[in-house]
Structure 1
């Protein structure tokens, strides 16, 4: 089943509805006549700056949402099983259900907006982190009796409403309350959905007496009751909605309780998509007996004339779904294309996922345990970023994640190649084996190593049919064909022999290793944040998929190795392009760094929130400095990439520090390091064995590399700590995908990173990708039909 949901006030943004006004000229004309001004001019240009004023906002959103719904029906022919709208959006839900025609709905919304705009000296604020019961307890114990709960948006995201003075008084109270993540005052003039809207409610009730309503063809979930509308109570619900809280959480839980339900946001923005993801992650379905729902059947309101059909003659012929279905223009397979159906079904089944979506690892735990847990609860896979962390920190993260995701939800840990420290790599593999970490992301590998082979061997099993597989799953992240070929092959014989001789694996495990590939799945990484080869997705994906097919034939693997796409995915269009190229799943990285769950400093997130697609640059990778490996980092607002590249150029051109001119050495110590070379050497000595230290001091080139690499560790630490005085030296791994996402979210509540959650961003990308694919298919089919007509 599918539910269409419609956003309310707060989703508006300049430019909304572009293309719709030309497509629905008759409705645009009707809107102009009802409103007395150009709806197209208001939405697209907002020259007078009126779009964020309630009396203009509500008609504008209603119009764009309504046109978006009609276009959706025209393009797909898919009518939803249920509809719901948040506050103002409920009028769009009723329009979609056939309760009234477009013009009637707009007249209602116009009046509602005017009445609500009269409310002054009111305020609203979002409280994030507390449940409804906890908020009520704070209001009661702190004497804040003048405040009402207005919007129950998610289990721990709730909006309160009251006089401006009361809201101002409440802010320090909530900010000092344990568990509160954020207290965000909203830009409203009135205390909407509260007792303070009584006058507006009474006037609106009188206004509604002049209207007749139609039969509802689709169940509409009421904001007031969080249950399906009853036709006889339609007017009453619209009146009560003005002063009563929006029960959005309960509405979504009710719909979740109806069975397997998909949600699709229609209209402006993706705010509701994010809220729904949060509800699904934090609350279970609400099972309601049919007796409760059916106790008052959807019947005609007493004394009200009910019209049984809309007059579609005056509207565009395209608005009739029946015509589209009759003529067979909507293929059945298109109707089921949605976020949960994208990607490979076996991939989702093997990893126990609802969505073919991975949040990739970011070093030093920036891809945090909170991120992994939230992804797992949302039916997605997240990888904890182990790079640069000690074993005690990694093991603590394993404990916490396994405690929270104990019902079979997916989670994984990054396994970063350490060419300079193979012993540490083997110790990490041993930790994962001992703690039964069943999924790892192998990244930055140039070839298969003994640590990887051992991890693979310890999970090998043979089923009753004699087929081999591994419970220790490896998803290899690759960007070069030769590395991909290594992971698509069985373990190298020389490494297997070495491990067998060391008794690290058994004879049976050695034999079984020859029957399976090193990786279960292959993530093809194009140009990305962090370590990158700067590959192009359009070239890499087809080549890697062809290589996969060839290796499947060569080794006669019985099970298909899935190929996923990573790098540059920050918008629905980019995600759609990945799936079109044959990706079985997608992986995101940079975009997750600018969410509440990312374990980096607020200062870093503030910088990242502002970037565009051109604000990144390549720099040397500190962990592979001598090899010349590259990372992609933030350029805007920092000097790190320029300074890091200069250090590498100096290393490349000189044999020792003594060869560098004195002026440059002073600049490095004073401006870059803010320490002398001797102070740096004293600081890093503890990280080397006596033998390594002696060897480095006797090798001038190695000593120079050792000193310069300290800057990379230092710059990462500054960023993670959010050091204000050293912001220019922040090293922030990031690709252009985040810049693209920032532009996608501009003008919405998610423009601010403090409103972004990793799973909600994922659903925005997936839902948008599904819509992009449907739109593109419709356009192609339309072009084919036009050519046929010619």
Structure 2
């Protein structure tokens, strides 16, 4: 029996692959496109001395190993495949788990994550066995060092904090044992790689793997891969010891006598020593594994005892929700005004098996259309995505224009926000998607997730469309008679998102009060109308940690919707300056301020308080508005302060700018009304500050940072605390899809442990 082996990091050298690249032009060009640099130049010439850097080493070795294997591949099929660390990816490639391109993308991400890790080192301890190494480390109190590689009976690699590794090397040398520091940037294959393993686990969710055609031995378990273990084992491998000695002993036990190394002799020398000095291991074909644990502040890795099914996080919430939207997780990224919930955010969510909504509020029709075209060009058919639709109380025509745009582009999902009543636009959208299937069942092709913060608003979405609006749309020939007839059989929305206190517009509701009240209302109306498809209730507001998600599902939520946590990610379309401010906030660093669009009635938005003065200045404007009847009534000293702190120009000049803007929009009537009514004029001038402050934040105008209006909630502060000390502490490592999956997995872990605790 024969096994083929692939070497890992450390076996690279300048000039490798020189004779291979001309033979495999297609694979070489594909690698160049994926990596963004010339792979042949890197491997053969290494002009910039990058070959020794982890982020470049790993893709380079993967490519050269693959091409070497392709060249020597013959009909002499091996009985087993294996690889040392990185080499395991080539073993899986040769076994058919994935194609060349997929493997390279995996290795590129793995290399980047491992290169980003820092703060530690590795050393090889030579001449004594692993048991002796561990015993001496323990005796000397080096409990923060792990064994990274069990390479041979006399070669053990250790990893840990650099200062401790340096001390350990001196200790072993003082005892007459040879110890060699390795030139690496981080303590690979140790507990300190857990954040990288967590992030890689999320990344792997994008991929599917094919059944293996040849058995592969896993580094982490020294056992044969089962097909369902591939993703879990690849993420675990980053922070697990490489069980190389036991891997060869297992193959010895299976009767393997021939070991061929692809492209080198490093592994062959280790194998020869193992064959000479070790006995075979008799094992079953596969060994059970646990998925990489996702830690929470309250559940450290060492204390975790529960084992959760790998798919538990994908079973939380409503299966009907997952089926209707075609998603893997009942986790939604809600819209954020001004396109902060960006097209890139929507695409990332869709490709990860979740749904996100584009923040269309404040965007022109042409910009919305361009965003839709981008999203549709990036997503395969069947991927879930949606658009936000904001209630335009004073401009219903623009709301209808937006709906027409959605219908023109085939948008199947919208998030309705800010509604206090059902409008013609909403009914038009909903009813144009009604039809009967072949079995006569009513089908709603147009789905609405209605964000509500009051039971009376939830109720109007749980009832069928108002008859008066239906008749009006029928008269206008916007809907058909058949659609009108079906309208009474379905609610306006099958998905009610209960929004507790949150960033932006908020009624400051309490989740534990609102959700049960609206769930009871849902039950009553479901029974009254006898809908064939049940209404679902989700929860938003305060969803920033796995604990919050776990609580939501324990309360019976069918799905969860996040907002603030997505605002501080790579994909959020706001300035880096804003993200820098947001990544440092805690739960107490937000405040309430007047809403610019509903300034006169005193509606509130929740905004960032830490590091800015917007909340105090906005509340000052609202106080002045209520205290005085006109700008002229306000004391001159106060006006001067406002001009300096808020407006950065005289109010007279401000008013001229406002008139120019209103004229450009064809809103001359608004100017006339303001000039006739001093209170209206004051409101228009003061409202300008709210638009201005939001624009400053989006642009990241650092000179006026104190005036930034950043709508966000304390959920982000809670999230910041949860990820403190991990790679996600820096927003530049935060991606909306990875955040979603991590929180869902950690919530599942918490729920499992809670149930075990109750049972015990």
| SS of alignment partner, residue 514 of structure 1 | helix
**Which residue of 2 is the match for residue 134 of structure 1?**
37
- Out of 582, 589, 605, the position equivalent to 2:556 is 582
Which of 628, 633, 648 does residue 607 from structure 2 map onto? Answer: 633
Q: Would you say 1:526 and 2:500 are equivalent positions?
A: yes
CA contact (8 A) 1:151 1:245 kept: no
Judged with a 3 Å threshold, the aligned counterparts in structure 2 of structure 1 residues 144 and 732 are, in CA distance, closer, same or farther, namely same
SS at match of 1:290: coil
Which stretch shifts more, 283-292 or 594-603?
283-292
Deviations 1:369-398 (A, max 9, x none): 111100101001111101111111110010
Aligned match of 2:650: 676
Equivalence for 1:493: 467
CA change 1:132–1:691 in 2 (3 A) is closer
The yes-or-no answer on 1:615 pairing with 2:589 is yes
Partners of 2:403 and 2:425 within 8 A in 1 = yes
Residue 274 of structure 1 corresponds to which residue in structure 2?
199
Whole-angstrom distance in 2 between the partners of 1:661 and 1:655: 12
Which range moves more in the overlay, 592-601 or 660-669?
660-669
Aligned length, in residue pairs:
574
Q: 1:558 to 1:746 in 2, by over 3 A?
A: same
1:560 is matched with 534
Post-superposition Cα deviations, 1:641-698, rounded to whole Å, max 9, x if no partner, equal: 1111111122223222222222222211221111222222222223342223212221
Deviation of 1:454 after TM superposition, in Å, equals: 0.6
**Aligned position for 2:231:** none
- 3-state SS, counterpart of residue 148 of structure 1: coil
CA contact (8 A) 2:117 2:193 kept: no
Partner of 1:694: 672
User: Does residue 1:371 correspond to 2:345, yes or no?
Assistant: yes
Q: What stretches of structure 2 of length at least 5 have no aligned partner?
A: 1-7, 10-31, 63-108, 135-148, 160-180, 218-223, 225-246, 254-273, 284-304
2:739 alignment partner, SS class: helix
**Compared CA separation, residues 470 and 237, structure 1 to 2 (3 A):** farther
- Residue 188 of structure 1 and its aligned partner are, at CA, apart by 4.4
2:538 pairs with 1:603: no
Do the aligned partners of 2:504 and 2:711 also contact (CA within 8 Å) in 1?
A: yes
Partner residue of 1:591 out of 525, 548, 565? 565
- Please tell me whether residue 770 in structure 1 is matched to residue 748 in structure 2: yes
Q: Equivalent residues in 2 for 1:48-59 (5 A)?
A: none
Pairing 1:83-122 to 2, within 5 Å after superposition: none
Task: Name the residue aligned to 2:290.
Answer: none
Cα distance between partner residues in 1 of 2:512 and 2:466: 30
Name the SS of the counterpart of 1:476 in structure 2.
strand
Whether 1:548 and 2:522 are equivalent positions in the alignment is yes
Of residues 52, 64, 67, the one that matches 1:148 is 52
> How far did 1:716 drift?
0.5
Are 1:647 and 2:621 an aligned pair? yes
Q: Is the 8 A contact 1:525 1:537 kept in 2?
A: yes
Q: Distance in 1 between matches of 2:555 and 2:580?
A: 34
- Residues in 2 aligned to 1:509 and 1:649: alpha-carbon distance in whole angstroms: 49
Larger deviation, residues 436-445 vs 237-246: 237-246
Tell me which residue corresponds to 2:684: 706
- 1:539 CA drift (Å): 0.3
Change (3 A) 1:136 1:308: same
Question: SS of the residue aligned with 2:605?
Answer: strand
Contact 1:639 1:728 in 2 (8 A): yes
1:742 aligns with 2:720: yes
Change (3 A) 1:291 1:345: same
1:536 is matched with which residue: 492, 498, 510?
A: 510
Out of 409, 414, 420, which is 2:388 matched to?
Answer: 414
Write the distance in 2 (CA, Å) between the matches of 1:153 and 1:416. 49
Distance 1:184 1:766, change over 3 A: closer
Cα deviation for residue 514 of structure 1 reads: 1.7
Is contact 1:274–1:763 with CA below 8 Å preserved after alignment?
A: no
Query: For 1:617, what is the secondary structure of its paired residue?
Result: strand
Q: Does 1:573 align with 2:547?
A: yes
Contact 1:416 1:443 (C-alpha < 8 Å) held by counterparts:
yes
Residue 290 (structure 1) aligns with: 214
Task: Give the aligned partner of residue 354 of structure 1.
Answer: 328
Change (3 A) 1:360 1:148: same
Query: 1:145 Cα shift?
Result: 2.9
Q: Write out per-residue CA displacement over residues 228-263 of structure 1, whole angstroms, 9 at most, x where no aligned residue.
A: x9x9x77699669997999x99x9xxxxxxxxxxxx
Please give the alpha-carbon distance, in whole angstroms, between the structure 2 residues aligned to 1:270 and 1:153. Answer: 21
1:189-216 C-alpha deviation (Å, 9 max, x unpaired):
77x6xxxx8xx44x4475449689xxxx
Q: Is contact 1:484-1:522 (8 Å) kept? A: yes
Q: Which residue of 2 aligns with 1:389?
A: 363
Give, in whole Å, the separation in 1 of the partners of 2:454 and 2:511. 12
Distance (Å, rounded) in 2 between the aligned partners of 1:563 and 1:470 = 17
For 2:155 and 2:329, locate their aligned partners in 1 and report how far apart those are by CA, in whole Å. 36
User: C-alpha distance in 1, partners of 2:155/2:318?
Assistant: 43
Q: Whole-Å Cα distance in 2 between the matches of residues 489 and 552 of structure 1?
A: 9
Superposed, 1:155-174 pairs within 5 Å as none
Determine the structure 2 residue equivalent to 1:454: 428
TM-aligned CA distance change 1:290 to 1:552, over 3 Å: same
Displacement after TM superposition at 1:640 (Å): 0.5
CA separation in 2, counterparts of 1:643 and 1:134?
50
Distance 1:621 1:397 in 2: 26
2:708 counterpart residue number: 730
Name the residue aligned to 2:78.
Answer: none
* Cα distance change of structure 1 residues 548 and 209 upon mapping to structure 2, 3 Å threshold: closer
Q: CA deviation at 1:154?
A: 11
Indicate if the aligned counterparts of 1:618 and 1:633 stay in contact, CA closer than 8 A. yes
- Equivalent-residue separation in structure 2 for 1:556 and 1:673 (angstroms): 56
Cα pair 1:618 1:632 within 8 Å, conserved: yes
Q: How far has the Cα of 1:335 moved from its partner?
A: 5.1
Please tell me whether the aligned partners of residues 129 and 154 of structure 2 are also in contact (alpha carbons under 8 angstroms): no
In the TM superposition, what is the alpha-carbon distance from 1:280 to its structure 2 partner? 3.2
Selected match of 2:410 from 412, 436, 439: 436
For residues 286 and 204 of structure 1, the distance between their equivalents in structure 2, rounded to whole angstroms, comes to 39
CA–CA distance in 2 between the matches of 1:745 and 1:387?
A: 30
CA displacement at 1:627 relative to structure 2: 2.3
Cα distance in 1, alignment partners of residues 371 and 53 from structure 2: 36
What SS does structure 2 have at the residue aligned with 1:466? coil
Offset of residue 506 of structure 1: 2.1
User: Does the 8 A contact of 1:529 with 1:735 survive in 2?
Assistant: yes
Question: For residues 601 and 290 of structure 1, what CA distance do their matches in structure 2 show?
Answer: 50
Unaligned 5+ residue runs, structure 1? 1-85, 88-128, 159-178, 213-228, 252-264, 310-330, 783-790
Partner of 2:89: none
How far 1:285 moved relative to its partner? 3.0
Label 1:723 to 1:665 Cα distance change in 2 as closer, same or farther (>3 A). same
Alignment counterpart, residue 488 of structure 2, candidates 504, 508, 514 = 514
- Give me the whole-angstrom Cα distance separating, in 2, the residues matched to 1:146 and 1:670: 53
Tell me if structure 2 keeps the 8 A contact 1:273–1:760. Answer: no
- Residue 166 of structure 2 corresponds to which residue in structure 1? none
Question: Quick check: 2:594–2:605 contact (8 Å CA) kept in 1?
Answer: yes
SS of corresponding position for 2:380? coil
Give CA-to-partner distance per residue, 1:353-381, whole Å, 9 cap, x none: 11110011111111111111001010011
Distance 1:236 1:526, change over 3 A: farther
> CA offsets, 1:73-107, max 9 Å, x none?
xxxxxxxxxxxxx99xxxxxxxxxxxxxxxxxxxx
SS in 2 for 1:701: helix
Contact 1:337 1:774 in 2 (8 A): no
Superposition CA RMSD, Å: 3.9
